[in-house]
Chains A and B, each alone.
Chain A
Amino acid sequence: EVQLVQSGTEVKTPGATVRISCKVSGYSFTDYYMNWVQQAPGKGLQWMGLVDPDDGVTIYADKFRGRISITADKSTQTIYLELTSPRSEDTAVYYCAAPMEPLVRGSAFQHWGQGTLVIVSS
């Protein structure tokens, strides 16, 4: 059974880097690109970026480039999302999402983590 288990709620002051994790089990970790999706309170879904867990290559959406970092740790089968200098507008639930098809960047998101709430407030 595929499982994506995310870390818990984070409460941060503006400017304090936040790092959340997504532990993967039940499939070949290096075969599937992993995505992160943002959902602000009461709002829709926004794709942030992805990582190839095999070689660490990343692609970021323009809105987030320069403010986030997505990494993969093969030894622990864990994906990380780091938000640098977050601001109040980054308050949101963040989901990791794995695609249906291996080794393909363009694929629907079949498996989702449970979401991590990040609150940025002074």
Chain B
Amino acid sequence: EIVLTQSPGTLSLSPGERATLSCRASQSVSSNYLSWYQQKPGQAPRLLIYGASRRATGIPDRVSGGGSGTDFTLTISRLEPEDFAVYYCQQYGSTPSTFGQGTKLEIK
């Protein structure tokens, strides 16, 4: 199975700053079938990005995804208070689908 490793484990930033989260795969992700989710305490995950770089419905354009093959990034250009949460990447190009261990984005 494809192992996804996210870094950093925790990212401490201030509102207005830029956040860059990384997701590295143990082998190439088929067709760049890589998604990103945001999860807040007590809530279900929310889809942000699919196909490595496509924004899901309702996601603002300050959120962007990039990368291909084995290296992917999620960038939030100007952090808003509601952006502080845990973020997961997921590959769905091969079975079993797998998730990264998560990056916690916290307020500095």
Contacts and interface: CB of A to CB of B under 8 A. Distances in A.
A44 B86 CA distance: 10
B44 A115 contact: yes
Interface string A41-76: 000111100000000000101100000000000000
Interface stretch (B17-25, B66-74, B75-83, B96-104): B96-104
Which secondary structure dominates where chain B touches chain A? loop
Which secondary structure dominates where chain A touches chain B? loop
B92 A45 contact: no
B34 to A, nearest CB: 9
Interface stretch (A12-20, A24-32, A81-89, A106-114): A106-114
A43 to B, nearest CB: 8
Contacts of A103: none
| Residue from A105, A108, A109 with most neighbouring chain B CB atoms (10 Å) | A108
A35 to B, nearest CB: 8
Report, as a range, how many residues of chain A touch the other chain: 20 to 34
Contacts of B85: none
Given A106-B93, A108-B47, A113-B44, A45 B88 contact: yes
A112 B45 CA distance: 7
A95 B37 CA distance: 14
Nearest to B94: A106
A11 interface: no
Contact of B35 (A47, A61, A109, A112): A109
B45 to A, nearest CB: 6
| Residue from A105, A110, A113 with most neighbouring chain B CB atoms (10 Å) | A110
Contacts of B93: 106
A46 B98 CA distance: 7
Contacts of B101: 44
B107 interface: no
Interface in B34-53: 35, 37, 44-47, 50-51
Given A108-B92, A109-B47, A44 B35 contact: no
Interface of B: 1, 30, 33, 35, 37, 44-47, 50-51, 56-57, 88, 90, 92-102
